[in-house]
Amino acid sequence: MPHMHVSAIVLAAGVGRRIGGDLAKTYLPIAGRALVLRTLDRMFAAKTVQQVILVVAADEMDRCEALLSADSLLCNRPYLLQSGGATRQQSAKRGLERIALETDVVIIHDGARPFVSAGLIDRCVESAAEKGAVVVGLPVRDTIKVVGDDRLIHSTPARRSLWEIQTPQAFQKDLIVAAHQRAEKDGVEVTDDAMVVERLGKPVYVLEGERTNLKITLPEDIWLAEMMIRDGRVP
């Protein structure tokens, strides 16, 4: 797709205070640099991305604007701030409302994944331009059990067919916009953007991702992320 325009939506509206005390996870320092800044660094390092929409909690807009404006690496980059919704799905839809009209491909990424490589972002975009919808993931390494509320094992799915799905997830613009509109109309809540496309009966392809594409969720993830940086294990 020649002269393709790509908009990236970075979702950072989740509070995530369970690991940061009074500080929202978005602003936690990872080896001295705020988590959200490290994630934005990766988005802007991708060759295919022209625009980044950062979706943050409504009551964090001013704080985030101040953080970005004061950052010498990002202050002149083409980003937009958008207030998020009550759920991840609502935040993604609000991000879609801000993408450029000329956008061909939308890439959606968790703000809590600061180590995604620029190469993986670009591969997602290129694949989505061809196939329509692409996510990244990894084959599961552990045995997965389906367990009931009573803590009894109900079944053990075949491991060869199970993948842990990460972000980024990339989509042709018209497809992801229509899919989110349909999900909202139907009153359906999902936990990732591929699910709204799956609901339309459209194919979603999986690219093998990166083990280093860590999601910062628990306190020990901060320790691991800083160790990865110190040991030069970040792509």
pLDDT at residue 21 in the model: 64
Query: Residue 28 phi/psi, 5° resolution?
Result: -60, 135
Backbone torsions φ then ψ of 214, nearest 5 degrees: -70, 140
Helix 88-96 crosses helix 173-186 at what angle (to 10 degrees)?
A: 130
Residue 98 sits at the vertex; the CA angle it makes with 95 and 102, to the nearest 5 degrees, is 120
Q: What share of the chain is helix, strand, coil (3-state, %, to 5)?
A: 35, 25, 40
Taking residues 19-43, report their average pLDDT: 87
Q: In a 3-state reduction of DSSP, which class is residue 212?
A: coil
Q: Which of 99, 5, 86, 80 is nearest to 40 (CA)?
A: 80
pLDDT value for 16:
60
pLDDT level of residue 218 (50, 70, 90 thresholds): confident
Question: Which pair of tokens denotes residue 131?
Answer: 């196939």
Convert the pLDDT of each residue in 51-80 to its tens digit.
999 999 999 999 999 999 999 888 889 999
Average pLDDT of the residues in 187-204: 95
Predicted TM-score of the model (pTM) = 0.95
At residue 75, the pLDDT reads 84
**147: phi then psi, degrees, rounded to nearest 5:** -120, 135
Mean pLDDT throughout 183-210?
A: 95
Percent with pLDDT over 90 in the chain: 85
Mean pLDDT rounded to a whole number for the chain = 93
Higher pLDDT, 75 or 83: 83
| Burial (CB count <10 Å: 0-12, 13-18, 19+), residue 100 | middle
The token duo for 130 is: 């061809």
R_g over Cα of the chain: 18
Instruction: Band the pLDDT of 110: cuts 50, 70, 90.
Output: very high
Whether residue 15 has pLDDT greater than 80 = no
- Indicate whether 91 pLDDT > 80: yes
Cα atoms in the Cβ-side hemisphere of radius 13 Å centred on 187 = 0
Which of 11-15, 134-138, 203-207 is least confident?
A: 11-15
Averaged pLDDT for residues 160-174: 97
User: pLDDT at position 130, please?
Assistant: 97
